Amino acid sequence: MSRKPVLPILFAIVMLACILFVAWYMPAVGQRRFELEDIQKSIETSHGRERKQQYEYDETVAAIPVTEAELERVLPLAEAAKEEAKALKQERKKLRNEKKELESSASADEREVTGNE
């Protein structure tokens, strides 16, 4: 009876298992590395965006006192201009009424003159 050696068959089975494991492991690790790099870039982009927004916010907050001072300087001028516009509107209304009165008196005078002839 001839016994077949078991050690070479066992070695072949272990080697096949190792090859299958490496064939599965390499793409899986590559995919995980890609995902990890993508997530890191996304986080870096988010941090950059956050720093930019914080910088813009700080600039805006720093500009508030200057803007308030400008508003305090311009507000009285705006109120004066508003009052002047209102007064001009009233004057224009008054002048229109006077024009209508003059036109009506002129037409009445014209009728008298044409009526007397």
pLDDT at 36 over 80: yes
What tokens does 5 get? 């050696």
What's residue 1's pLDDT?
A: 47
DSSP secondary structure letters along 45-74: HHHHHHHHHHHHHHHHHHHHHHHHHHHHHH
Q: Which of 52, 34, 55, 32 is nearest to 44 (CA)?
A: 52
Largest CA distance in the chain: 160
pLDDT at 112 over 80: no
Q: Could you read off the pLDDT of 60-100 as tens digits, one per residue?
A: 999 999 999 999 999 999 999 999 999 999 999 999 999 99
Q: Is the pTM of this model over 0.85?
A: no
